Structure 1
Amino acid sequence: MTSTRTVPDTAHRVTVTMADGVADVRLNRPDKRNALDPAMFEALVSTGERLKTEEGVRAVVLSGEGPDFCAGLDFTSFEAMRDGQRLSGLAALPPSDGPAQAAGQRAAYVWAELPVPVIAALRGNALGGGLQIALGADIRIVAPDARLSVFEVAWGLVPDMTGTQLLPELVGRDVAKELTFTARIVGGEEAARIGLATYTADDPVAAALETAGRIAAQSPHAVRASKRLLDLAGRTDLTTGFAEEQKEIGALIGSPNQAEAVAARFEKRAPRFTDI
């Protein structure tokens, strides 16, 4: 039986709808192409932080209302920069003990910090800061005609929302440099070919929700452990990585959800997992 509920954001910049373990998160400023302003930074961070501990969340889909995912910074931010001001610094956020400290970094990296898989669904423009937010997701599904760009250099800037650190992991250091130095716009098909996107879909939101539903139907403890292990790859030495594998598998074998997975397969029925 489907269970749906809507969780409003106080800034109205982000909406969250929960259904069957999937959090459907949407940037909600379509009249401005979901551009980033202080209120949007606040909403993204507060939403991500809330979902870290939200009971029953097994997967997250991150998209934008309207035709675009996120066109980057609001134009007022660039106007302020001419006078040496940084409007993202006006975002009212509580202190963070994570690696990301600046508001823009936290708005992007909070999705990487979620213990459950995050799938970004990209339509239309995903430029500059918008693309960097998508980099915080585990999976990126893009429309073939989407427009993606590391656009900061066109404004005389550098990617400062974690992009310089996360992008090379996806596309390689040389491709990351080429994209960053030129600010060229990449279509969805090329994005998938170079590793900037996972794959393309004519309706990326529907595809993301379908994938999230399949994830949510798996053992939540196994999925979370898998994400923890895969996020270590390339970021720690092999001795540590292999040891963590054994730690995770040791915790899973014989656990209630693992026993239920085995029983369901033998009995040829849908498993009934718990989140506790």
Structure 2
Amino acid sequence: MSRVSVTRAGGVAQVRLNRPEKMNAVDFEMIDAVIAVAEDLAADASLRAVVLSGEGRAFCAGLDVANFSSLALGDPEGLIMPRSHGAANRFQQFSLAWRALPVPVIAALHGVAFGAGLQLAAGADMRIAAPGTKLAVMEMKWGLVPDMGGMVTLPELVRADVLRRITWTAEEVAAEEALRIGLVTEIAADPLARAVELAGVISGKSPSAVRAAKRLIEVAYTAPADEVLERESREQTDLIGKPDQMEVIAANMQGRAPKFG
């Protein structure tokens, strides 16, 4: 059985972790499957948005415990240190591939999002959680540190002291608390339905503007102000008067939904 399933409709791709008997625990096969799916979607010019979810009782319970043995008894230096995807290794690319995707990615969380699962969710642009969902930076429980891109993404979501607390304690955070501290975007009774709804709204917007906004927001969190201002102007210049923007203007003037090529 494939570790990841993908369905597409109306420009929205639904990507689902597909190891329900293990609460979608992450093994090496799932890591490679997730990266392959993200790379395939990145090449799809018709893609408008992605919804990321988990099959069964949970979004993702974290790294498969069986993998710990192979790491501890193997060659961690040779397995972890080589850079396979630019500045990242394959474990980091598991989550950062979604951040690099040119369209918005919305994670629908339920059950638990622990360790690798939380870092995967943090690589998305938004996180919608079911009431009672548990989230945790779980690595300290196993004498480890987050190493799947979490130290790039999590500092953008929570304050430094909060990140220290949840990293050092490995405590489980309920969705309601996660919303308060910034780990999740919103809570919904049916997070998958809400994520699909949001993806549908986004898919109705100018595709070139949506992609430009994702690029721009990424720069806004990582670059100095002068570079952000320059990129604002560049992205806007590249949108004004182009087909997508002209269609938005025409649709607004005619009181109809825009139709993009």
TM-score, normalising length: structure 1: 0.90
Q: Which runs of 5+ in 1 are unaligned?
A: 1-10
- Counterparts of 1:212-251 in structure 2, within 5 Å, are 212-251=199-238
Q: Which runs of 5+ in 2 are unaligned?
A: none
Show the counterpart of 1:41.
31
Show the counterpart of 1:150.
137
The answer to whether the 8 A contact 1:121-1:204 is kept is: yes
Show the counterpart of 2:52.
62
Distance 1:55 1:82 in 2: 41
Show the counterpart of 2:8.
18
The answer to whether the 8 A contact 1:168-1:175 is kept is: no
**What is the CA deviation profile of residues 56-87 of structure 1, one whole-angstrom value per residue up to 9, with x for unaligned ones?**
1100000001111110111211233443555x
The answer to whether the 8 A contact 1:219-1:257 is kept is: yes
Deviation (angstroms), 1:259: 0.5
The answer to whether the 8 A contact 1:89-1:103 is kept is: no
**Which of 163, 180, 195 is equivalent to 1:176?**
163
SS state of the match for residue 23, structure 1? strand
The answer to whether the 8 A contact 2:61-2:117 is kept is: yes
Show the counterpart of 1:135.
122
SS state of the match for residue 171, structure 1? coil
Show the counterpart of 2:250.
263
SS state of the match for residue 12, structure 1? coil
Distance 1:181 1:187 in 2: 17
Show the counterpart of 1:80.
70
SS state of the match for residue 145, structure 1? coil
Distance 1:166 1:57 in 2: 23
Deviation (angstroms), 1:158: 0.3
Distance 2:73 2:102 in 1: 40
Instruction: Report the aligned-residue RMSD.
Output: 1.8
The answer to whether the 8 A contact 2:84-2:90 is kept is: no
